[in-house]
Amino acid sequence: MQRNTYVSAAAAVVLALGGPVAAAATAAAAPTALTAATAARADVTAEAAAQAALKANPGVIESLDRDGAVWHVDVVSKDGTHSELEVDAASGSVTKENQDDDQKADDYASLLAAKVTAEQAMKTAVAAHPGKVWSVEWDDDDDNGRAATWNVEVKTTDGKTQNVHVDTATAKVVSSDADDDDSDDGNN
């Protein structure tokens, strides 16, 4: 019984002294670990997500948007097959979520014939408003008499959200406006 008491006392001393040392070592390593995790998360930009999606599923991007830890990417192939993909924002891995084989190329004729791709529209938008692309979407809704455009959302370096409309034939900015509500919507 006395032997167990000595062993227990020795274990308590080791834990008491080892605990603060381990905690200090962990605290010292935490900024490095946090920085590495943050760097990994920041590695997959909209442009990188677009490349990963097109490598996994060749075609033309119809839309791309960031939702928390994933990029949602819609890709249309030359035959009109519409695929919904997810690209992990930390690793860049691609998962096919859904595929619609019932569509025909005619349904996406204007998108497939566009001279300016989503990738080019993103470059144009960031050149006009430096920052990070958060989403890009094809818009051929001609309710307002306007030709098709790429709608690109850019989180600018000054913390604002800029909505940039890029012409699908010339890659020029047609219009842009800042969101009135620049609050963080949780989609970091």
Q: Could you report the per-residue pLDDT of 142-183, keeping only the tens digit for each?
A: 655 567 899 999 999 888 999 999 999 999 999 989 875 544
Q: How far is CA 147 from the centre of its chain?
A: 27
In the β-sheet with 161-167, what is the strand arrangement from edge to edge? 94-100, 82-88, 70-76, 60-67, 131-139, 149-156, 161-167, 173-178
> Can you tell me the mean pLDDT for 125-138?
96
> Can you tell me the mean pLDDT for 65-92?
94
Has residue 85 got a pLDDT over 50? yes
Has residue 1 got a pLDDT over 80? no
| Residue 105: predicted pLDDT | 74
What mean pLDDT, rounded, does the chain reach? 78
Closest to 99 in 3D by CA, of 73, 68, 133, 124: 73
Q: What percent of the chain has pLDDT over 90?
A: 54
- Cα→Cα distances 90→33, 58, 70, 188, Å: 14, 22, 8, 12
Q: Where are the domains of the chain?
A: 1-42, 46-178
End-to-end CA distance of the chain: 58
Q: How many CB atoms lie within 10 A of CB 20?
A: 9
Q: How far is CA 93 from the centre of its chain?
A: 12
